[in-house]
Amino acid sequence: METIRLNIAGREYPLSAAANEVESLRQAADAINAQFDAFRQQFQVDDPVDLLAMTALQLTSSGLDRNDKKVEPSKVLTDDSLKQIEHLRQRIHKALEL
């Protein structure tokens, strides 16, 4: 395991990940940031919570569309991935409360 720092929506998040997952996590953060910025410009929304919710919905629905069928989230994401996503969601929520 190694610790990396990901910048998501202008905030840094330290994350522990297996070495073979680091690049995909960085790519995921890049995709989130690109969609976040696109929504901010397109809809002129400044609330990061709204933008992150819109981004999560867009990226999740895109992933499901690629599979071309209904897929249960637990079948797409591993338990570790779901735990990491929930951990990030909690950290984002807590950071935005400040």
3-state secondary structure 57-90: HHHHHHHHHHHCCCCCHHHHCCHHHHHHHHHHHH
Per-residue pLDDT tens digits for 41-74: 999 888 999 999 999 888 887 776 665 555 454 4
User: What pTM was estimated for this model as a whole?
Assistant: 0.66
> By percentage, how much of the chain surpasses pLDDT 70?
79
- Domain span at residue 61 reads 2-97
Higher-pLDDT residue of 27, 62 = 27
Query: d(Cα 91, Cα 98) in Å, to the nearest integer?
Result: 11
Structure tokens at 12: 């840094």
Q: What is the DSSP letter of 48?
A: H
Domains contained in the chain, number? 1
